[in-house]
Each structure stands twice: as C-alpha cells, then as structure tokens.
Amino acid sequence: MKIEAIDLQSALTEASRSLECSVMDLEYEIIQHPRKGFFGFGRKKAIIEAKAKKRILKKNPKKEFTSSKNHKPETHEPKQENKIEIKNEKNKSQKEKYTVKSDEIFDSFHRESKGVRNTQDILDEIRIQLVKLLESSQFKIELSELRMYDEDCVLIRLDGEDAALMIGKEAHRYKATSYLLHNWINLKYNLLVRLEIAQFLENQIQGMQLYLQSVIEKIKIHGRGQTKPLDGVLIKIALEQLRAEFPDKYVGIKQNNDQRFVVINDFFKKDE
C-alpha cells in the first residue's frame, strides 16, 4: 500500500489506520523523504510503501497449579529498618517538592524583572531562523543584511544567483515571501518587515517616485487626488511618499472591489 503524507510520522500513522494494525507491526519502505521547502516552495510529501507484518501465534504452555488445604499465604511484617526508610523517603519527597516550588517562583520573578526584550536578541533569533529556511530551500540565495529599518520595522535583504527566481514573474514570489515573513515576524515580535531581494525594492521605489511626480502636481493644483490602482509593496511605497509630501492632508488607502489606491484630500486631517 502506497501512502502519502506531510511527514514520515503522519504517513506511518495513516498506514497503521488503513491496515488496522499498530505502527510497530508495519513493514515499510521510504520511497520519498519529506521536504519543507522554502516558505512552501519546493515542498515534498513523504511517500512510503507499507504492509502489515505476518503475525505468528505462539501457544503458551499451561501452568500447573497445586493447591493445598493446609497452605496459608505467607505474610511478611515490615521490618523496623524498612519503616525508617519509608519515613525518610516521605520526608525527602516533601523537601524536593518544596525546592521545585521555590524554583518556579524564582523563575517567574526573573521573567517579570527581565522586562522588554533586547532588540539585538530578536534580530539574532530572526537571523537563525532565516538562515535555516534559506539553507533548506532550492534557491541559491542568502541573507546579506538584517537590521532595524526603524524602531518598528525590520529590514531583510536577500541576494544571490537565484534572486530573480525568488522575485518571480510579476513579483508573485516576492509578494508571497513578504506576506509570510510579515505574518511570522509581526505575530511573534510585533514588528513590520521591509523585504529587499537584490535591487527589486529599490527599483520599485524609484519607479514609484517618477509616477508620483505627476500625481503630486495635480494635488497641488486641485487640493486632492488619487493614484492608479496599486497592489502589494507598491501601495505601501506610494502611501509613505505621499504622506511625507503632504503631512497636513488626509492620505489613506481606499478599496473599490478588488482594487486599492491611495487617496489624498483636505476633508479629513490625518490625526482625526
């Protein structure tokens, strides 16, 4: 029987259910080892060929029992030494429990006094996890820079031979990677992510600056305006640049069906 699952353990569990036997009673051959891939890219499932072992029934020899009317069960009175040992064991266990409890109180106090985590510790954790992910991927790409972009945002710069493949056609892999990194880092560390792969983000910023020049001129003339429909990183770039250009105007994102664009007007102040 061929079984596919997300990992080897799941495949063995599924095989044991299908064959109605325990995992210990399985004979199996691994056809394909599982691979996590990089953020879902290049992921492979575990594939095994499994069958149940042939069971050999053994006859247990009958045990002979002799009974006697005069036979009485032996009773052993605990010796005085055993009583002392039991008493000492009870006292020892009580002392050990008390020690564990005090350790827990100390650890709790230590955690509370530690306070806010060090930014460098967070960056080190992110670096370790990112390097592991990149090494397990099929792309020739590495982490070239990791630092705080500002107090609320982490800059992650990736580069290598397969940078173009990591970006993908119409930046679909870039968007997916940026989205997954943001979900992980924002959920765990409450930080935003600025992802740069090769010069992709820098080129996007330069292209958006050229496009926004005409938008800015129209806003200065009419007092309000909006961008063309944007998505992904482009709408973030436009939002940042227009807010910097018009700090006294309302600059926000408006959505119409599946399209999103940046609007600028005088009707609402930014802080209202």
Per-residue pLDDT tens over the stretch 1-13: 888 888 888 888 8
Sequence letter at residue 211 = Y
- Cβ proximity of 196 and 202 under 8 Å: yes
Q: Which residues contact 204 (CB under 8 A, 6 or more apart)?
A: 233, 234, 237
**Which stretch of 24-38, 47-61, 99-113, 197-211 has the lowest confidence by average pLDDT?**
99-113
- Cβ proximity of 52 and 34 under 8 Å: no
- Cβ proximity of 180 and 195 under 8 Å: no
- Average pLDDT (148-152) is 89
Which of the four CATH numbers 2.40.160.40, 3.30.1370.180, 3.40.50.2300, 3.50.50.60 does domain 202-265 have?
A: 3.30.1370.180
Sheet holding 153-159, edge to edge: 142-150, 153-159, 192-197
List 157's β-bridge partners, or say none. 145, 196
What value does the mean pLDDT of the chain take? 78
- Cβ proximity of 182 and 193 under 8 Å: yes
User: How confident is the model at residue 148, as a pLDDT?
Assistant: 93
User: How confident is the model at residue 91, as a pLDDT?
Assistant: 53
Q: What CATH code would you report for 119-198?
A: 3.30.300.20
Determine the Cα–Cα distance for residues 254 and 269; give it in Å rounded to an integer.
16
Sheet holding 26-32, edge to edge: 2-5, 46-52, 26-32
List 147's β-bridge partners, or say none. 155
Give the distance, in angstroms, between the CA of residue 153 and the centroid of all CA atoms in the same chain.
Answer: 18
- Average pLDDT (217-242) is 89
Convert the pLDDT of each residue in 55-109 to its tens digit. Answer: 655 555 555 545 444 555 555 555 555 555 555 555 554 544 444 444 444 454 4
- Average pLDDT (179-197) is 91
Give the distance, in angstroms, between the CA of residue 222 and the centroid of all CA atoms in the same chain.
Answer: 47
User: How confident is the model at residue 246, as a pLDDT?
Assistant: 92
pTM for the model? 0.51
List 252's β-bridge partners, or say none. 263
- Cβ proximity of 220 and 253 under 8 Å: no
Higher pLDDT, 50 or 41: 50
Backbone angles phi, psi at 256, to 5 degrees: -130, 105
**Roughly what angle, to the nearest 10 degrees, separates helices 172-189 and 233-245?**
70
Among 256, 200, 196, smallest CA distance to 229 is for 256
- Please name the residue that has the structure tokens 């930080």: 191
User: How confident is the model at residue 161, as a pLDDT?
Assistant: 92
Give the distance, in angstroms, between the CA of residue 199 and the centroid of all CA atoms in the same chain.
Answer: 26
235-131-236 Cα angle (round to 5): 5
